A and B are shown apart, each in its own frame.
Chain A
């Protein structure tokens, strides 16, 4: 899988924001992201995520939708207002009643995800991510 290694090498220097309210899921997913990206920040809800986004510059935002205080959808649309080009990926439960078509994002993944899904979603977005 030289594809995967290629991807890791290409994206290792980008800055990623990851928002997820469930601690167990966040911890495990952070481990996963850290294997691919060297610089990942986490937020526990939309509000925290938006604050971090305002402070720092991110190439990629990955978020859950259902979160307390501010949900993922609201956070994403606010992020879009600030920066039109940031790549946004949603990772949410399949029974979430939030409709994918109503959400501002570049890729939509259903939990539980497999790493191949993630890689397949990420690959076509590489160039855009790196432009940031």
Chain B
């Protein structure tokens, strides 16, 4: 219950409104009740004054005459007014008439004292400056109180309706000006947290909430700008690395081409030029230029823009990766072990996945070289279940310090020397895998030494936007 209240601003506002309005309306009711009571008491006292005046006037002659029958008559007439609780009359010649109400509110004779809360009025009946009698009346507020209570109940009912109406009315207004916009912002924040940076808060109000949503939009824009910048930077870095990989690819064919030409030239110089060896040399040159050309195609393919999702086999992308970086591994005597068991296609941005794979393999290569690992080997494994495709790229080098392994995906974090590491490769890889391909990536040390990068990619792929 407590949790339920604390977690919803709606519930809080409704409760607050209810408590606030209830307090105000209760105070107002009490004030009203008091006013009414005061007013009615005043009326009652007024009417008591009138009654005593009338009685003392009406009783003047009957008391003078000492006509008890007449007096009784007058008292009975007066007692018809139910506000009148008791009348006590004393006069000459022991005239004593006392009337009061019993439980059934009937008029009865009595002679004890009156106790209780009544408005009492006493008047002397005077003729020719001589007191000939005395009259007292007791007026009860019983009926007025009843009326007052009835009225109070009525007011309470009306109040209740007013409270409910006010709560609903205020809630609707608050909902419009506060809750709905907050809900709006919250929805966008959630979408952004889930990785959809294109979401914007749409609010057309100029208050603090409007400013908040504008601020949020601006912040998201700058986050996106920054990410774009990082992507561009990492793309530049990747291009630089590509050039070094092209150098690896081209070294052998270029040397072979040069030797082919040298062989022909040497034959000419030695006056030993024969058609067959010359032809063989020229064919070698042509053969090797084809190799150069194919390398360019492989690399051009890496740089082709990839804005569309494609249906691909992860193994194929891994093979593309080795076309590009394989030569560089071979030149550095790093063995490659491939265990491809995944055979499902999935929809994804293949160039981005390729960028990630190249980056991780390149990191593995650099780690193996840096630590001069004997029998260096990179093992790539693919497998799948009915949910995900799993790719792992492992090297048999040196494990990463546990303090560092948590940070390796942070932007601008690098353990490599200033020159070769931008600190963006793994950050970009994580961004691509998680944000663009909706997968996961983690780095884990292997007990026997070395590191595995494990990636999962959902089998149902990416939706084209």
Establish whether residues B272 and A35, one from each chain, have CB atoms under 8 Å apart when the complex forms. Answer: yes
Does any Cβ of B come within 8 Å of A93's Cβ? yes
> Please, what's the 1-or-0 string for A8-52, where 1 marks a CB less than 8 Å from any CB in chain B?
100000000000001011001101100110000000000000000
Complex Cα distance, B251 from A90, in Å, reads 16
Shortest Cβ distance from residue B107 to the other chain A in the assembled complex, whole angstroms: 128
**Known: A8-B270, A24-B252. Is A29-B247 also a contact (CB below 8 A)?**
no
CB contacts (< 8 Å) of B259 on chain A: these are 25, 28-29, 31-32, 112-113
Whether B270 and A4, one on each chain, are in contact in the complex, defined by CB atoms closer than 8 angstroms, is yes
Distance between A39 CB and nearest chain B CB, rounded to angstroms: 18
Q: Given the interface contacts A4-B270, A5-B270, A95-B247, does A24 sit within 8 Å of B253 by beta carbon?
A: yes
Whether A112 contacts B270 in the complex (CB less than 8 A), given A24-B288, A35-B263, A95-B247, comes out as no
Nearest CB in chain B to that of A93: its residue: B251
Q: Which residues on the A side are within 8 Å of B247 (C-beta)? A: 95
- Bound-state CA distance A66–B256 (Å) is 16
What distance in Å separates the Cβ of A52 from its nearest Cβ neighbour in chain B?
Answer: 20
Q: Does B311 reach chain A (CB closer than 8 Å)?
A: no
A24 to B289, CA, bound (A): 13
Q: Which of B251, B253, B258 contacts A113 (CB 8 A)?
A: B258
Do A114 and B258 have beta carbons less than 8 Å apart? Answer: yes
* Interface size range on B against A: 20 to 34
In angstroms, Cα B280 to Cα A31, docked, is: 11
**B255: CB under 8 A from chain A?**
yes
Chain B, range 245-301, C-beta contacts under 8 Å to A: 247, 251-260, 262-263, 265-267, 269-270, 272, 277, 281, 284, 288
Chain B positions within 8 Å of A29 at CB level: 259
CA distance A125 to B380 in the complex (A): 49
Closest to A118 in B: B262
**Is A112 a contact of B254 with CB atoms below 8 Å?**
yes
Decide if B333 touches A68 in the complex (CB within 8 Å). Answer: yes
A29→B262 CA distance, assembly (Å): 9
> Are B263 and A31 in contact, with the CB atoms below 8 A?
yes
A73 to B306, CA, bound (A): 44
Q: Which residue of A lies closest to B271 (CB)?
A: A5
Q: Which of B5-62 contact A (CB under 8 A)?
A: none
Chain A positions within 8 Å of B263 at CB level: 28, 31-32, 35
Among candidates A1, A31, A66, residue contacting B269 with C-beta atoms closer than 8 Å: A1
Are B252 and A22 within 8 A (Cβ)?
Answer: yes
B331 within 8 A of A: yes
Name B155-206 residues within 8 Å CB distance of A. none
The residues in A between 48 and 104 inclusive whose CB is less than 8 angstroms from any CB of B are: 66, 68-69, 93, 95
Q: How far is the CA of A113 from the CA of B331 in the complex (A)?
A: 19
Q: A24-B256, A28-B256, A68-B333 are in contact. List 12 more A-B contacts (CB 8 A).
A: A22-B252, A22-B255, A25-B255, A28-B260, A28-B284, A35-B266, A112-B254, A112-B259, A113-B255, A113-B259, A113-B262, A114-B258
Of the A-B pairs whose beta carbons lie under 8 Å apart in the complex, a sample of 21, sorted by A's number, is: A1-B269, A4-B266, A8-B270, A22-B252, A22-B255, A24-B252, A25-B252, A25-B259, A28-B256, A31-B259, A31-B281, A35-B263, A36-B266, A66-B332, A93-B255, A95-B244, A95-B247, A111-B255, A114-B262, A115-B262, A115-B266
Give 6 nearest A-B pairs by CB, closest first. A112-B258, A28-B259, A68-B333, A115-B262, A24-B256, A111-B255
